[in-house]
Chain A
Amino acid sequence: MEVNTKELQKELRHLDLLMKDWEEIQFNLYHQLEKATDHWQDERSRVFYDKIHTEKNNTDKVLNQLKDIQEIYQYLYESYHQFGTVIYCEVTERKKVFQKMEIYVENLKKIYVELNQVDTSFAYPESNSILEIRGKIALQLKNLNDLKNKIQSFLTRVEEIEKEVSLKTSKLQNILIEDFEF
């Protein structure tokens, strides 16, 4: 999974302007078409008028779908931008990453236990440095656990977002706009 939130935000602003432009053009275009049926009045113009209304409903469906798509991208942007401007993550590698981290934690723990067994109750030249290293390892263990928790919650969040995106997109239906025949 890779998201460029910065570019996505730029594109969403652009898309928003385009959609507003389209809405305005569409409104004016159908208004003008209705006006045209005022300047042409017979049986055919009435049929044309009705068909134009059906066409407007169809294009509204497309516009609404466009809004739904934009909403999904907006959701993606809002969900991911708190993590950074470019987010890359292999969610499928989650298990492997945590296994490796776990091995690292276990190794550090073993070293800590070994150092703990060294008697430092009396003063000798190395006792201070042993205590210092033991403290550093304890700190590293804590940092590593914090990092593991952060990665864990990040990956869980990514999975939640991706699940939500799948759910939102699965609700979108393909629309078929038919050719105008008169």
Chain B
Amino acid sequence: MHGAVINEEELKNDILVIESYEVDEQKVFSNMTQSLENCLLWYQSNSKTKLKEICSNLDMNLQTIHNNRQQYVEVLRNTIVHYHEMEEKVIKAMEREKNGG
């Protein structure tokens, strides 16, 4: 019945792939943060105040992006759980019907 709306196997596979990208991305984010910090270290000047502020904002955004990635996976996982619950409800309802209510 639910094959028409979700393809559980494929969706599970999607989740695994997305998670692996998320892990790779987190490594890149961490290296990027470090790299930006190093750049600030190699340039000492009064002109860098705004640059520092922007880098710190960027760092914060990278963290939010990473958290959001985890939310995407959470939504996909919950979708599978949701459809399993629906399936159980339908089976129970059918059983009740079969047993005469």
A residues apposed to B, CB below 8 Å: 1-5, 7-8, 11-12, 14-15, 18-19, 21-22, 25-26, 28-29, 32-33, 35-36, 39-42, 44-45, 48, 52, 55, 58-59, 62, 65-66, 69, 72-73, 76, 162, 165-166, 169-170, 172, 174-182
Q: Is the interface of B mostly helix, strand, loop or mixed?
A: helix
- With A12-B39, A18-B32, A180-B72 already in contact, the answer to whether A169 and B17 are too (CB < 8 A) is no
- With A48-B75, A177-B61 already in contact, the answer to whether A14 and B35 are too (CB < 8 A) is yes
Instruction: Name the distance in Å between A9's Cβ and chain B's nearest Cβ.
Output: 9
Top 10 nearest A-B pairs (CB, nearest first) are: A180-B68, A36-B14, A39-B10, A169-B50, A2-B44, A29-B21, A39-B7, A4-B42, A180-B71, A8-B42
- Complex contacts, B45 vs chain A, CB 8 Å: 1-3, 162, 165
Q: Is the interface of A mostly helix, strand, loop or mixed?
A: helix
List 13 A-B pairs, Cβ < 8 Å.
Answer: A1-B44, A11-B38, A21-B24, A36-B15, A52-B72, A65-B54, A69-B39, A169-B50, A177-B61, A178-B64, A179-B67, A179-B68, A180-B71
Instruction: Name the distance in Å between B85's Cβ and chain A's nearest Cβ.
Output: 14
Interface size on B, residues (CB 8 A): 49
Instruction: Name the distance in Å between A169's Cβ and chain B's nearest Cβ.
Output: 4
Pairwise interchain contact A44-B21, C-beta atoms closer than 8 A: no
Question: Nearest CB to that of B9 among chain A residues?
Answer: A39
